Amino acid sequence: MQLDETDRRILRVLQKRGRISNADLADEINLSASACHRRVQRLEAEGMVKDYVALLNTRKLGLATTVFVEIKLNAQADDVLEAFERAVARVPDVLECHLMAGNADYLLKVVAEDTDDFARIHRQHLSRLPGVAQMQSSFALRTVFKTTALPV
């Protein structure tokens, strides 16, 4: 699907303010409400807009600690990778899991209340993941920059 500049403006606004009304969106991008609605429906149907979500405040929810965990597996066979991926997807504290090129096989982004809570997550979940040969955890001291908006 080819995106024109109007599509890109729509996507930029939706990424920042997903709950914006169609009328307000149409006004902001200088398009009629009906044309704007058709474009948004097309972007959704084509899969450009995957979902709408509420971004929660981790600090207010008591999850102020972010930990990045590098995982090395004991083998690279498909069954080992698949078993690990199935198991890690069930750990509620893991926000992201990326298959990596380089030193680590996987990189996880984990949220926790504090270091004691991360120790619990490590003991109850991470240390029990299948195929893990080695783990290295790095605690974020402060988030300098964070966005969910893609550069469209």
Residue type, 49: V
What is this structure's pTM? 0.91
Instruction: Determine the number of helices (DSSP H) and then strands (DSSP E) in the chain.
Output: 5, 4
Q: Please give the chain's pLDDT, 152 residues, in tens.
A: 899 999 999 999 999 999 999 999 999 999 999 999 999 999 999 999 999 999 999 999 999 999 999 999 999 999 999 999 999 999 999 999 999 999 999 999 999 999 999 999 999 999 999 999 999 999 999 999 999 999 99
**144 domain residue, yes or no:** no
Q: Is the dihedral of CA 9, 14, 17, 20 positive or negative?
A: positive
How many residues comprise the chain?
152
Residues 76 and 28 in one domain: no
Number of domains observed in the structure of the chain? 2
**72 domain residue, yes or no:** yes
Q: Looking at residue 133, which CATH number applies to its domain?
A: 3.30.70.920
**147 domain residue, yes or no:** no
Q: Which domain holds residue 102?
A: 65-139
Specify the DSSP class assigned to residue 146: -
